[in-house]
Amino acid sequence: MRWVNVRPGRRSAMALGAIPLLAVLAAYLLASAMRHAANPSDKLLPTPGAMASAMQALIAQADPMSGRLLFWADTVASLERLGIGLGICAVSTLLAGMVLGVLPAARATLGGLVTAVAVIPPIALLPILFIVFGLGETAKIALIVIGVTPFLIRDLAEHVARIPEEQLVKAQTLGASSWQLALRVALPQALPRLVAGLRLSLGPAWVYLISAEAIASDVGLGYRIFLVRRYLAMDVIIPYVAWISLLAIVMDVALAQISRRGFAWAHGASR
Amino acid sequence: MSALLAFDRVWLEYGDKVVLERVDLGIREGSFVSIVGPSGAGKSSFLRLALGQEAPTRGRILLDDRPLVAECGPDRGVVFQRYSVFPHLTALRNVMFAAECAGARFTARLFGRARREAMERAAAMLDEVGLGDALHVYPAQLSGGMQQRLAIAQALIARPRVLLLDEPFGALDPGIRQDMHRLILRLWREHGLTILMVTHDIGEAFKLGTRLLAFDKRRIDPHAPHRFGATATYDIALDRKPPVLLESDAPSITIDMIGNNNEG
């Protein structure tokens, strides 16, 4: 049998997918054990036990300075920034993307502006945001919004504008006004695309969040890993990175579920 | 003129490219007009004009003796070859769309009794086109033929003065196409429709139409082929006697003498 025709079944596919993950884990454990055998005080590749005890302190013991459980305070702060930021992104994208997608005149007027804003590297705007909004929450949320929204607006407007002409004509022959056409034809078809865009934007959004937290903050997941970097505290950094990844995966899966539940038609729904 | 839809010396040009020239036609109420012609002969442009998607460069189009506004409206229904139904609505909601637009200007959604009535009418319409069992199914789950049935039901429920069909059965299997022919003829008779149908299938054009328009260019300038437009070169009245008219029956048709030439 040719290699191109070898297709793993459902179970064996899962097993195959698990192999590299387990291999990476095993390689880490082995390397960590070897380094600790050579130098018991090695900080670079902490053992699972060291990570567990370091994290235990952050998860369950109140910080003597602030009296907070730092791990949870960091998580809440970061998720709050991310949530507010992405929420503002979603709402403004929906408004702007719909207007640009449905109205050719609006596209002609504002399309260039959106494109111009979208090509600015958002991190380059961070100093301006800090100057304008101060070092508080606003600047961090604004960075996420500015970083993600123009891309989303362009994507959504393009998607809405690509709705087949036939559908728009058909709606008009059924008596739909511009508003009704936007509300009943364009909006429902834009929503799944918006969710898909948000899923893709989760990665960049985390990048902007952690950048902003690293530069000026006093709480947050990004703040914490950049803070403990000074002490080479890999036993905190690695679990934090794993936690951030886990949060990102959960958000991605949740958005995928929302899309599948809410917009069954867009996912080839069966009866 | 007593025509329902009249083209009064209509020209359609894009820049210096002439697409249609001097189209002068009247379409009687209740007729089933088949439109054939080679690709690029302006069949679809003709339909776009009737639909109001485009305005004629010169001439007038009259619907019920009133000039046609160059915008699509509920007095003309349409079924395209593809993409005629809304993918995000179930069959029933697709057919309710017209009622919802008419009944609720702001929300385009009906509630309570109005909604129930619209649903009942939509379900009856779907039943009529043979989709009575597929009320709550999304278009993507319907076969091509069923999607076209849905598109027809969706257009008919708005009670258009003219129904425009743009190669409606072009993408269907031959067997399904026969079913669709029976369906559209039945609906045409029962609802007293006026239909304009563009098709590539000559047999279909003869079989279904009460009148056949063949679009082509009368003259061609080999150095500037775009300078002459197409028009209805043949305008053939077909008697609806036998259900199927074969090509061998062609001598029984009358040929419009204006369109007696083509490039040689």
Q: Average model confidence (pLDDT) for chain B?
A: 84
Among A122-126, A243-247, B14-18, B240-244, the range scoring the smallest mean pLDDT is: B240-244
The 10s digit of each residue's pLDDT in A95-142 is 999 999 999 999 999 989 988 988 889 888 888 988 999 888 899 999
Give dist(CA A26, CA A32) in Å, integer: 10
Q: Is residue A14 part of a domain?
A: yes
**Domains defined for chain B, CATH in brackets:** 1-75+160-264 (3.40.50.300), 85-159 (no CATH)
Looking at residue B198, its pLDDT comes to: 93
Residues A132-145 have pLDDT tens digits of: 998 888 999 999 99
A269 pLDDT band (50/70/90 cuts)?
A: low
Let me know if residue A172 belongs to a domain: yes
With tokens 């390397």, the residue in question is A31
Based on the fold, state whether residues A12 and A129 are members of the same structural domain: no
Residue-level pLDDT at B243: 45
Interface predicted TM-score (ipTM):
0.83
Contact A265 B160 (CB under 8 A): no
**Residue B174 CB burial class (10 angstroms; 0-12, 13-18, ≥19):** exposed
Of B51, B84, B101, the CB nearest to A175: B101
- Predicted confidence (pLDDT) per residue in B131-164, tens digit: 889 899 999 999 888 999 999 999 999 889 899 9
Q: Work out the pLDDT band at B240, boundaries 50, 70, 90.
A: low
Which residue blocks in B33-138 are alpha helix, DSSP H? Answer: 43-51, 91-103, 112-128
Q: Which residues of B touch A176 (CB under 8 A)?
A: 97, 101, 108
Instruction: Write down the pLDDT at residue B73.
Output: 83
CATH number for A254: 1.10.3720.10
pLDDT for the residue numbered B245: 42
Q: Which two three-digit tokens encode residue B3? A: 């025509």
The CA distance from B95 to A170, in Å, is 12
Size of interface A-B (CB pairs under 8 A): 90
Tell me how close the Cα of B99 comes to any Cα of chain A, in angstroms: 8
Q: Are residues A97 and A127 in the same domain?
A: yes
B97 closest CB neighbour out of A174, A179, A263: A174
Residues A244 and A215 in one domain: yes
Instruction: For residue A265, give the nearest of B88, B100, B158 by CB distance.
Output: B88
Contacts of B107 in chain A (CB under 8 A): 183
CB atoms within 10 A of CB B189: 12
The per-residue pLDDT for range B53-71, each reduced to its tens digit, is: 888 898 888 888 888 887 8
A174 and A236 housed in the same domain:
yes
Q: Kindly state whether residues A109 and A86 are assigned to the same domain.
A: yes
Q: How many domains does chain A have?
A: 2
Nearest to A164 among B72, B83, B102 (CB): B83
Same domain, A103 and A228: yes
| CA nearest to B102 within chain A | A175
CA distance B256 to chain A (A): 33
Which residue reads 């999607």 in tokens?
Answer: B147
Given a cut of 50, whether residue B262 has pLDDT beyond it is no
* CA neighbours closer than 13 Å in the CB half-sphere of residue A187: 12
Residue A90 belongs to a domain: yes
| Chain A residue at shortest CA distance from B158 | A174
Residue A253 counted as domain residue: yes
Q: Domain check: are A128 and A190 in the same one?
A: yes
Residues linked to residue B41 through DSSP beta bridges, in sequence order = none
Q: Is residue B247 predicted with pLDDT exceeding 80?
A: no
User: Do A202 and A251 have their domain in common?
Assistant: yes
pLDDT digits (tens, 9 = 90+) for B110-129: 888 889 999 999 999 999 88
Q: Is A83 left (phi over 0), alpha (psi -120 to 50) or beta?
A: alpha
The Cα–Cα gap between B50 and B62 comes to 9
Contacts of B137 in chain A (CB under 8 A): 271
What mean pLDDT do residues B8-37 have?
Answer: 88
Domain of residue A101, residue span = 58-267
User: A191 and A74, same structural domain?
Assistant: yes
Burial of B213 (0-12, 13-18, 19+ CB in 10 A): buried
Q: Share the mean pLDDT of chain A.
A: 91
Looking at the fold, whether A37 and A140 belong to one and the same domain comes out as: no
Q: Which of A220-224, B10-14, B258-262 has the lowest mean pLDDT?
A: B258-262
Secondary structure (H, E, C), B160-178: CCEEEEECCCCCCCHHHHH
CA distance B77 to chain A (A): 6
Q: pLDDT of A157-204, one tens digit each? A: 999 999 999 999 999 999 999 999 999 999 999 999 999 999 999 999
Q: Specify whether A114 is located in the same domain as A182.
A: yes
Q: How confident is the model at residue B251 (pLDDT cuts 50, 70, 90)?
A: very low
User: What are the pLDDT digits (tens) for A49-64?
Assistant: 999 999 998 898 888 8
Q: Is residue A163 part of a domain?
A: yes
CB contacts of B171 in chain A (<8 Å) are none
Nearest in space to B20 (alpha carbons), one of B39, B3, B43: B43
In a domain, residue A52? The reply is no
Given phi > 0 = left and psi -120 to 50 = alpha, else beta, which region is A144? alpha
Among A106, A138, A145, CA closest to A122: A145
Of B86, B151, B158, the CB nearest to A185: B86
Contact A177 B76 (CB under 8 A): no
Buried b (16+ CB within 10 A) or exposed e, A114-127: beebbeeebeebbe
